[in-house]
Amino acid sequence: MFNKMKIKQRGVKIYVKIYVLAGIITFGLIIFSAISFSTLTRLKVNGEIYARIVKGKDLIADILPPPEYIIE
């Protein structure tokens, strides 16, 4: 049983295995880069999430009364 498995593994050349591994790593890096770029675009200053935070802070500033200072 194990001899048959070893025979099948010998049919694939080592350079093919290396190319497949390199392809998988390259594909993974491309996917990681795309996700990272998308995340940074959303989180940057004046980005999508930043705008929501600013709107929320402006709304809270409009609703709450001004803080009272002890000195006054």
pTM for this structure? 0.57
Q: Is the pLDDT of residue 22 over 70?
A: yes
| Cα 16 from Cα 6, distance rounded (Å) | 17
> Stretch 60-67: mean pLDDT, rounded?
81
CB 20 within 8 A of CB 26: no
> Stretch 33-48: mean pLDDT, rounded?
90
Going by pLDDT thresholds of 50, 70 and 90, the confidence category of residue 70 is low
